[in-house]
Structure formats: C-alpha cells, structure tokens
Copies of this chain bind each other. A is one copy, B any other.
C-alpha cells in the first residue's frame, strides 16, 4: 500500500468501467467468455490498466482458501547447491502459477524458529531438505502437504520423499578409486546428523567390506573448509600406514582436505587422491580440479516441486531416485 492515497480495488475499476465489481472479477480472472461481452471486457481491462490496479493477494488468498505459495526449507545457503534447488523448484512452480518462498534455517544449531512466523506467508505446501530437519517439528504441527528432499523413505511419516541416488554416486567414486588401485581409504564425513550423510557412509563401507584387502578409516568434521582442514590434517599425520584415497562427503570438505594435504607436504593426486560430492563451482576453482560426483541440483528442485504439485492435486508423484554421475578430474590418480 502506498503512503498517500490508498491503492485501487476491483470496485474502483468497476466504477471506472461502469460495470459491477463482479464483472471485473470475471474479466480479470479470465472467466468472462459467455458472461461478459467482448467490448465490455476490453473496457474493464483498460480501466484496470489505467488505474494501475493490482489484485489484493491477501483478499484473494482468503477467498480462495489457498495461496499458490510453497515454502522451501533448506539449511543455510553456504553453498550454491540449495540456491540451485530453489531455482529449479521456482521454475516449475512458476509454470503452474505458484510462488516459492525460501526459508533457510538459521545458521546455529538448536530448534529452528518457527518458519511460518518468519516467512509470514500463508502456504499450500512445503518442501524441506532433511538437512534442515530441526525445523520440521514446527512444520509437522500444521499437517500441510510435505515433500522431503534427501530423506529416509522409510522414516518420513508418510511425507513424500524425493532423493538423489547418492549411494550410487559413492559406489561410482569407490569403484573409480579401486580401479586406480587404491586400497587404503579415508572417509571425511560431514558431522551433521542427516540421512543423506548416513547413506554415504553406508555405501562406502558396503563396497569396501565386499572388497578384500581394503582398509577404511573415518574422520568427521562440520561442513567448513577450516574444520575439514583440521580434521584431515590430524588423520593424515596419525601413526600407521597413510591412506592413499580420501573420499569426502562433499566438495567443501574436499577443499579443506586440499589445504591439509598441502600443509602435510602431500601432493594431490600423486601422494593422495581426493574426491568430493556435489560438483559445486568450487570443484573447478581449486587446483587440481576435483574429481567429484555431479548432483543436478536444479533437476532436484524441479523434481521436488513436481512431487509437491502432484500431492496437491491428489496424484501420485514420480518414483525413482535421480541419477548422479562421476566427473573425473585431476585430483585422482593411481597410488604411487
């Protein structure tokens, strides 16, 4: 609402066009065929444009009982991953006349603030990343249609789940490293309780226990370059035979590992092969470029939004995980 004069309503438009408010609603709602004559409709449209009329969305939402607005709950936007998820979701949403409101759960841990209080919006549904699960207690109160991203299909209390095939990505990474001849593995795990990271650990362990003669150690750190560096440095300087392959839960952790390797005097990939997961811009910014698993974040967001739209229309969402694929770059090589 402007400061000085109040903004025009459909009634003002009606008066300007010399028709009733109902006629304005019909015309602007594109439901006028057979109810209003073409010249009248044109007059209404002109009057609306003349006055700079914009429908009051609060009133429309109240009347219709739905908002065509969806909430996307993500962890803090510290990488571009969820920004791309948002882009994909918003694109599909726009095609269906929906809007997407982004709710990045506050950086710090602890139970998130009420997303509804923050994103003052009235909502039709929610898409939430499992990494922002602490926000979900507040969410589950309202039992809005809910789509969970990268979440345990079993433990999601009936919410629809949309997943990337992360396990397959880790299998591809592991096979790549095994084929190169690596046997001693270190897993740099993300120190965040989330199904999506459990999957990584499980897939890696499964593959390696099935391969005789291999060895796996694990170290974990919060997802930050500094924390990853510290944790990796400790692991690399620990007693015992040094691992030759370092599998990181994501690209950011890998970037931290690069710095640890450098400090420890190890060259990548000659002394240590490193892999990431995500394929962020960061992956090609560091030297050598990172061998990693490409996740199509936009497609992920699109799929999530399509699933939610399906739920809203009472249809069945698409099944199956989204494929991922290994991108081999310069950070992996046969062990010396």
Could you list which residues of chain A lie within 8 angstroms of chain B, going by C-beta atoms? 1-3, 7, 52, 54, 56-59, 61-62, 65-69, 76-80, 83, 86-87, 90, 93-94, 98-102, 104, 106-107, 113, 116-122, 124, 141-145, 225, 252, 255, 258-259, 262, 281-282, 284-287
Contacts and interface: CB of A to CB of B under 8 A. Distances in A.
A71 to B, nearest CB: 10
Given A2-B142, A225-B284, 18 more contacts: A1-B124, A56-B62, A61-B122, A62-B62, A77-B83, A78-B281, A79-B80, A87-B107, A94-B117, A99-B117, A99-B119, A99-B120, A100-B119, A101-B119, A101-B121, A121-B121, A258-B287, A282-B285
A58 B83 CA distance: 27
Nearest to A5: B143
A259 B142 CA distance: 50
8 contacts: A1-B65, A56-B122, A57-B121, A94-B113, A94-B118, A102-B102, A225-B284, A262-B287
A88 to B, nearest CB: 11
Contacts of A67: 58, 120
A54 B142 contact: yes
A272 to B, nearest CB: 15
Nearest to A298: B107
B98 A120 contact: yes
A77 B68 CA distance: 23
Contacts of A286: 285-287
A118 B61 CA distance: 15
Contacts of A287: 258-259, 262, 286-287
Contacts of A61: 58, 61, 120, 122
A98 B117 CA distance: 8
A131 to B, nearest CB: 15
A76 B68 CA distance: 23
Contacts of A252: 281
Given A59-B62, A62-B58, A90 B69 contact: no
A58 B116 CA distance: 13
A225 B287 CA distance: 13
Contacts of A100: 118-119
A78 B80 contact: yes
A148 to B, nearest CB: 17
Contacts of A68: 120
B104 A101 contact: no
Contacts of A258: 285, 287
B83 A104 contact: yes
B145 A3 contact: yes
A256 to B, nearest CB: 8
Given A121-B101, A122-B58, A255 B144 contact: no
Nearest to A90: B118
